[in-house]
Structure 1
């Protein structure tokens, strides 16, 4: 008597493949179906913070506006984000209490640190 295992094996394989499609392990976006959110260039894993406190970033005034200095100033100020303002650059004027703004001079040195 010969047992036919091929259909059962194929059915088991199909079921496993269907279940694997529901898995979120290793999928970008956590398997939620949402596209993965790109990480901003130079994004940090440092605490995100909240409302900006200008006093925490004053140490950066006079220093070169490098990515590390900008990020350290953001973290010390407790800001959620930081922007660098260069001479002659067009900027938005809306106030954002979670944002640190660092003004640079033409040599790339930070001349002012303020929230907003």
Structure 2
């Protein structure tokens, strides 16, 4: 019993040991899919995209569309709101 009481402070101090923080995940380039050239389309009707030639693998995401959560920094994404207006453009 006395041995157990002697180990208690040692166990309490073990909880105070600092551990090394995990390395942060690498961040993609800010405009790796060249979204900046399309920023002027935010607020425009979704229909304007129909007449444009968009890069391959571009996603046009509606308000209730299911999309994968995989990160592809080179993929251009247009998010459409409930009023069929381009709400967001990004690389993901």
Class of the TM-score when normalised by the shorter of the 2 chains: 0.5 to 0.7
For the residue of structure 2 that corresponds to 1:81, the secondary structure is coil
Show CA shifts across 1:51-75 (max 9, x none): 512211101101111212xx35x3x
| Corresponding residue of 1:97 | 73
- The 2-side partners of 1:94 and 1:57 are apart by 22
Map 1:32-51 → 2, pairs under 5 A: 51=32
State the aligned residue count: 59
Shift of 1:81: 2.7
For the residue of structure 1 that corresponds to 2:44, the secondary structure is coil
Q: Higher relative contact order by CA 8 Å / sep ≥ 6: 1 or 2?
A: 2
| Corresponding residue of 1:85 | 61
Q: Normalization by structure 1: what TM-score?
A: 0.45
Maintained 8 Å contact 1:99/1:115: yes
| Corresponding residue of 1:8 | none
| Corresponding residue of 2:85 | 109
Maintained 8 Å contact 1:80/1:98: no
- The 2-side partners of 1:80 and 1:63 are apart by 21
Q: Which aligned segments of 4 or more residues in structure 1 are displaced greater than 2 angstroms?
A: none
Q: Normalization by structure 2: what TM-score?
A: 0.55
* Unmatched runs of 5 consecutive residues or more in structure 1: 1-50
Show CA shifts across 1:63-104 (max 9, x none): 111212xx35x3xxxx43311111122110111233211011
* Unmatched runs of 5 consecutive residues or more in structure 2: 1-31
